[in-house]
């Protein structure tokens, strides 16, 4: 287990939707960190293609992240009512609103099978717990299994499941919350959260969420984290596949704050607060149904260079993110 997050103890977070392309995972790994591919809502063929690219680059160790599908019932009437309310938004960017897709990632079993066969150095899960036999199969294949948790109860559940380590995600984190038990969200600092999880389980901890400075990373390590995981800090690096509208928004002084929203995907996620988020503070809890519903209008907004109707995921420390090679980001946060 020693040094599994690289000698730097810095994990370049899995970031679905484009940022975590093989170039970023490779650069983070080469710089002494651990890079990740994002397998959430990706087809097995697309994920396999990224694994092939990363292997062809000669990447030694890297991780892959998966979203665990939800079994929760979706309120279909609420989704259809939300779809009606989005009509004007779609019209404004010349996009069509698709019919709702009610499934939650039918391809998850195929991706699990692929990863068990390819056995990357690490696989992390978020949004819920995988089945115990999936964890056991990955571990038998030599893969380290990490579980994203947002509080001590979730950490205990991960330990019972047989995970090798936990990614402890604070609500300041950019992107979706991985919360599945610990609601409402943790109210103290990331260091407090790490200490609380440290007291609950004996597993190694990767601390994530709102880390903007080396001092933030040091505080998380001092509280008991073996490594830190950063997402937002890598979004402006040239190796990240962050779309140009998102990249420009992170650098602009147009945005005043980040906020949690369900408006884009139907699951709480933190992003730079824009007009779409302000107009739909009460979107229903229906992930990934809302994600698919808003996908064409988000894509049209990006194509038009307009940051007002697309998700701009960012953690609270977004202003500290730099346009610098990913290797420099790894070096700045090395422990
Ligand atoms: C653009 C973006 C996409 C993300 N996508 C994923 C993902 O696919 N899987 C995941 O486990 N976490 C995802 N996250 C959350 C990160 O793993 C991590 O918890 C978070 O970035 C840490 O907070 P920070 O952004 O303040 O550094 C994403 C975060 C961002 C900013």
User: Per residue in 270-321, pLDDT tens?
Assistant: 999 999 999 999 999 999 999 999 999 999 999 999 999 999 999 999 999 9
Quick one: angle between helices 214-222 and 190-200, nearest 10?
A: 20
Which protein residue has the closest C-alpha to ligand 1 atom 15?
A: 175
How far, in Å, CA of 19 to CA of 22, rounded? 9
- Ligand 1 atom nearest residue 178's Cα: 11
296 token code pair? 């064409």
Query: 171 CB under 6 A from ligand 1?
Result: no
State in Å: Cα 318 to ligand 1 middle: 12
Average pLDDT over residues 211-226: 98
With the most atoms of ligand 1 within 8 angstroms of its CB, the residue from 35, 46, 173 to mutate is 173
16 pocket-lining for ligand 1 (C-beta < 6 Å): yes
Centre of ligand 1 from the C-alpha of residue 91, in Å: 30
152-161 and 190-200 helices, crossing angle to 10° = 40
Per-residue pLDDT, 2: 56
Give the model's confidence band at 217: pLDDT under 50 very low, under 70 low, under 90 confident, else very high.
very high
Decide if pLDDT at 242 tops 70: yes
Residue in the structure block whose two tokens are 């397998």: 39
For ligand 1, whether the C-beta of 212 sits within 6 Å is no
Q: Give per-residue pLDDT as tens, 21-40.
A: 999 999 999 999 999 999 99
CA 35, CA 47: separation in Å to the nearest integer?
15
Alpha carbon distance 264, 278 (integer Å): 11
**51 touches ligand 1 (CB under 6 Å):** no
Query: Does the CA dihedral 159-62-42-248 come out positive or negative?
Result: positive
Query: What residue ranges define each of the domains in the chain, with the CATH number in brackets?
Result: 1-69+105-242+320-335 (3.20.20.70), 74-103+256-311 (no CATH)
Q: Pairing between strand 258-261 and 122-126?
A: unpaired
CB contact at 8 A, 290 and 262: yes
Average of pLDDT values for 132-138? 98
Report pTM: 0.97
240 lines ligand 1 (CB under 6 A): no
* Amino acid 330: pLDDT: 98
| 18 Cα: distance to centroid of ligand 1 (angstroms) | 12
Please give the distance, rounded to the nearest whole angstrom, from the Cα atom of residue 162 to the centre of ligand 1: 23
Q: Is 317 in the pocket of ligand 1 (CB under 6 A)?
A: yes
pLDDT score recorded for residue 143: 98
Atom of ligand 1 nearest to the CA of 270: 31
198-219 core/surface letters (b: 16 or more CB in 10 A; e: else): bebbebbbbbbbbbbeeebbbb
In angstroms, rounded to a whole number, what is the distance separating the alpha carbons of residues 248 and 305?
A: 10
Residues 325 and 237: beta-carbon distance below 8 Å: yes
Atom of ligand 1 nearest to the CA of 126: 11
Beta-strand runs (E) in the chain: 10-12, 35-38, 62-67, 122-126, 144-149, 165-169, 175-176, 205-208, 227-230, 258-261, 269-272
Helix (H, G, I), strand (E, B) or coil at 134: helix
pLDDT tens digits, residue range 94-127?
999 999 999 888 899 999 999 999 999 999 999 9
Query: Is 1's pLDDT higher than 60?
Result: no
Quickly list DSSP for 89-121. HHHHTT-PPPPP---S-TTHHHHHHHHHHH--S
Structure tokens at 98: 């698709």
**Is the Cβ atom of 65 under 6 angstroms away from ligand 1?**
yes
Mean pLDDT over each residue of the chain, to the nearest integer = 96
């Amino acid at each position: 287990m020693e040094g599994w997050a690289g000698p730097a103890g810095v994990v370049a977070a899995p970031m679905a939707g484009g940022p975590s392309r093989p170039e970023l995972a490779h650069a983070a790994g080469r710089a002494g960190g651990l890079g990740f591919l994002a397998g959430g809502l990706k087809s097995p063929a697309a994920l396999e293609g990224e694994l092939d690219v990363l292997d062809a680059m000669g990447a030694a160790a890297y991780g892959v992240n998966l979203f665990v599908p939800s079994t929760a019932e979706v309120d279909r009437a609420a989704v259809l009512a939300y779809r009606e309310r989005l009509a004007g938004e779609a019209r404004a960017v010349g996009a069509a609103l698709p019919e709702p897709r009610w499934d939650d990632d039918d391809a998850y079993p195929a991706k699990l099978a692929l990863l068990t066969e390819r056995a990357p150095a690490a696989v992390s899960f978020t949004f819920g717990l995988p089945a115990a036999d999936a964890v056991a199969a990955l571990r038998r294949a030599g893969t380290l299994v990490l579980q994203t948790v947002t509080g001590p109860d979730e950490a205990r559940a991960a330990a019972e499941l047989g995970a090798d380590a936990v990614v402890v995600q604070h609500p300041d984190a950019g992107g979706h919350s991985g919360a599945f038990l610990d609601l409402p969200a943790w109210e103290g600092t990331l260091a407090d959260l790490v200490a609380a999880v440290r007291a609950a389980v004996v597993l190694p901890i990767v601390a994530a969420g709102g880390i903007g400075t080396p001092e933030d990373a040091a505080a998380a390590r001092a509280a008991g984290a073996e490594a830190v995981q950063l997402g937002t800090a890598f979004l402006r690096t040239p190796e990240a596949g962050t779309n140009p509208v998102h990249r420009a928004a992170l650098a602009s002084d147009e945005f005043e704050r980040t906020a949690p929203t369900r408006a884009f995907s139907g699951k709480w996620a933190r992003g730079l607060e824009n007009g779409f988020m302000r107009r739909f503070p009460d979107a229903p809890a229906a992930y990934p149904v809302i994600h698919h519903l808003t996908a064409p209008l988000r894509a049209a907004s990006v194509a038009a260079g307009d940051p007002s109707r697309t998700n701009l995921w960012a953690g609270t420390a977004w202003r500290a993110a730099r346009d610098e090679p990913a290797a420099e980001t790894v070096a700045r946060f090395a422990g």
